[in-house]
Chains A and B, each alone.
Chain A
């Protein structure tokens, strides 16, 4: 089975621009979560989507948004980029059961490294 794929792998943007990152989960997985990884803050949860609905959200400003499509693929968008948005953005997928998810094993993609200049 193919793993979680993320595109693009690397991205350079300038302040004020917006960016869209894409994530394709493992086939059959219905839950997709996004994490931001920075040297200072470590790994932080952004949001989770299940069946095209945002089910859980971390403590990030509204500039960070996402969506999920009917085939479970997900995109996240960051508008009005700031220097501090430079990070590795990781996507993780899990089977999803519609109930408590914290016990599910999440499988991570290789990430998209975003550099904001």
Chain B
């Protein structure tokens, strides 16, 4: 069965420092990969997505992610974190067998220190 693992439950980063959030997936073929962000009390906002092609994907708010098939990973990065980036981040997989269903990781909470 498909699954998504986000190994880090909580990460604290200093403002201005770089960020990398990890995501590993389990799926037999090339999945469709997404990163969403959720601010407190809010729904999910799409940051970026990977369907095919260039394995380095650019998203909104200065985020990027790299698909590495050999490592079954899709890590999210940002070169310089802003205090407003504090939120919960979810990696998700969309798979043909799952129809529309996205399979989400448990999320990583990002705190930003000044």
Residues of A within 8 A of B (CB): 4, 31, 33, 35, 42-45, 48, 50, 55-56, 58, 90, 92, 94, 100-111
Contacts and interface: CB of A to CB of B under 8 A. Distances in A.
A interface majority secondary structure: strand
B102 A106 contact: yes
Categorize the interface residue count of chain B. 20 to 34
Interface of B: 31-32, 34, 36, 41-46, 49, 51, 90, 92, 94-96, 98-107
B101 A42 contact: no
B43 A108 contact: yes
B43 A102 contact: no
22 contacts: A31-B100, A33-B102, A42-B104, A42-B107, A43-B90, A43-B92, A43-B104, A43-B107, A45-B98, A45-B102, A56-B99, A58-B101, A90-B43, A92-B44, A101-B94, A103-B51, A104-B100, A108-B36, A109-B43, A110-B41, A110-B42, A111-B42
Nearest to B95: A102
Contacts of A33: 100-102
Interface-central residue, B42, B44, B100, by most chain A CB under 10 Å: B100
A1 B34 CA distance: 22
A42 B108 CA distance: 11
A106 B46 CA distance: 8
B3 to A, nearest CB: 12
A33 B103 CA distance: 12
Nearest to A48: B100
A56 B101 CA distance: 8
A100 B42 contact: no
Contact of A101 (B42, B43, B100): B100
